[in-house]
Amino acid sequence: MFTKILIANRGEIACRIIKTARKMGIATVAVYSDADKEARHVELADEAVRLGPPPSRESYLVADRIIAAAKGTGAEAIHPGYGFLSENEAFARRVEEEGVVFIGPKHGSIAAMGDKIASKKLAQAAGVNTIPGWNDAIASAERAVEIARGIGYPVMIKASAGGGGKGLRVAFNDKEAHEGFSACRNEAKASFGDDRVFIEKFVEEPRHIEIQVLGDAHGNIVYLNERECSIQRRHQKVIEEAPSPFISEATRRAMGEQAVALAKAVNYQSAGTVEFVVGKDQGFYFLEMNTRLQVEHPVTECITGLDLVELMIRVAAGEKLPFAQADVKRRGWAMECRINAEDPFRNFLPSTGRLVRYLPPPVTMEAAGRVPEGADGDAEGAQGGVQSGEANAPGGVRVDTGVSEGGEIPMYYDSMIAKLIVHGRDRPNAIARMREALNAFVIRGISSNIPFQSALLAHPAFVAGDFNTGFIAEHYGRGFSSGDVAHDDPLFLVALAAFVRRKARERAGGISGQVEGHRMKNQPDLVIVVLGRDGAHRHHAVRVDEFEPHSGKADVVIEGRHFAIQSDSRLGESLMVGTCNGRAFTAQVERANSTGGVAAGGAKSPLSIRVAHNGAQIEALALLPRAAELFALMPHKTPPDLSRFLLSPMPGLLVDIAVAPGQKVRSGERLAVIEAMKMENVLTAAQDGTVGELLAKKGESLAVDQPILSFA
Strand partners of residue 221: 215
Three-state DSSP state, 56: helix
CA-CA distance, 645 to 687, in Å (whole number)? 12
CA-CA distance, 563 to 494, in Å (whole number)? 10
Q: Are 379 and 436 in contact (CB under 8 A)?
A: yes
CA-CA distance, 140 to 520, in Å (whole number)? 89
CA-CA distance, 528 to 537, in Å (whole number)? 10
Residue from 77, 488, 430 nearest 239 by CA = 430
Residue from 345, 344, 341 nearest 533 by CA = 345
Q: What is the Cβ-side half-sphere exposure of residue 215, based on CA atoms within 13 angstroms?
A: 25
Q: What is the CA radius of gyration of the chain?
A: 29
Phi, psi of 39 (to 5 degrees): -70, 165
Catalytic one among 179, 275, 288, 405? 288
- The reply to whether omega before 707 is within 30° of 0 (cis) is no
Length of the chain: 712
Largest CA distance in the chain: 99
CA-CA distance, 94 to 158, in Å (whole number)? 41
Q: Which residues contact 385 (CB under 8 A, 6 or more apart)?
A: 432, 433, 435, 436, 584
CA-CA distance, 693 to 95, in Å (whole number)? 52
Pairing of the two strands 207-215 and 221-233:
antiparallel
- At 243, which amino acid appears? P
Residue from 460, 456, 463 nearest 237 by CA = 456
Q: Residue 584 belongs to what H/E stretch?
A: strand 583-591
Phi, psi of 359 (to 5 degrees): -135, 95
142 is catalytic: no
CA-CA distance, 103 to 316, in Å (whole number)? 5
Q: Are 683 and 708 in contact (CB under 8 A)?
A: yes
CA-CA distance, 500 to 480, in Å (whole number)? 30
Q: Is the dihedral of CA 692, 696, 699, 703 positive or negative?
A: negative
Distances (CA, A) of 557 to 151, 525, 551: 65, 10, 19
Q: Are 682 and 697 in contact (CB under 8 A)?
A: no
DSSP state of 356: S
The total of other beta-carbon atoms located within 10 Å of residue 38's CB is 12
CA-CA distance, 27 to 370, in Å (whole number)? 21
- DSSP states of 339-353: EESEEGGGTTEE--E
User: What are the DSSP E strand ranges found in 268-396?
Assistant: 271-278, 284-290, 333-340, 342-343, 349-350, 353-354, 357-359
CA-CA distance, 643 to 622, in Å (whole number)? 34
CA-CA distance, 414 to 505, in Å (whole number)? 44
Distance of CA 496 to the CA centre of its chain: 29
CA-CA distance, 590 to 576, in Å (whole number)? 9
Strand partners of residue 564: 555
Active site residues: 288
